[in-house]
Structure 1
Amino acid sequence: MFSYEDDGYQKKLKTIEEKRKFIEYYFWHIEDTNFVRSLNRFKEKKGFGTEYVRILFHADFDGWEEYMCNEGEVALIMDYPAAEEDMIGYLDFEQFYIFLLEYSEKYIEKYPEQEVEVGKLLREIKDSFNIGK
């Protein structure tokens, strides 16, 4: 797994717009071929991404890692060369789920045959994140 032993993240994603841009880039970066795979990982509260762009959950970190997200959050991580400087931000599960809904709709527009599978995964994610209960 990625090592955080360097000087840390120079840029913190603080605004919702910065986080929205990250999510947009993330889904572009992992490509449509990995969209359903990412949802399958997220329903298990497991991170998914590439070496340079990833979304991680609390359990994906080692306990000593300074930038570990809290339970009930995801960490949005982008490292050089995907970004000019390493960056990190956090979304709570409810905020993250809203983005998942948005990008699921875009995915289903392109791949309507996946609507049932994506809908099932979104329900499982909602239950796993304990949203709306």
Structure 2
Amino acid sequence: MGTTDIISLVKNNLLYFQMWTEVELLQDVLPWKENTLSLLKGRPPHKLSNDTEDTVGDHGMSPVQQTEFILPINMSQYKENFLTLECLSQVFTQLCDSVTERILLAIINDDGTIVYYFVYKGVRKPKRN
């Protein structure tokens, strides 16, 4: 599955299944291990976490209006040590806004299923249950 296929699959999943709005591909790319990484950004229909003091996203906006950044990768890239701490650090510094605290990692399996995980910039204190 090529990079454009992965991006298209995640974008369509966010728009038509997850009901996100304003999903678009960012122009900047990050060359990494003979591949290129690109970010999507968009607005989810509801708050993505249950943190009471969530400072992630666009400051001063309600949670529904927060813009989230999404990094689509293929499951084979995830398994092959493609996604390292160095890679994620470069994604945050080169592809994201300076105020971005987290991204959503979209991992696509060979059968087309997508799972989403939060990846935070730096160490983050666990939330209370």
Q: Which has the higher contact order (CA 8 A, sep 6+)?
A: 1
Q: TM-score range by the shorter chain?
A: under 0.3
Higher share of residues assigned strand:
2
Q: TM-score, normalised by structure 1?
A: 0.25
Q: TM-score, normalised by structure 2?
A: 0.26
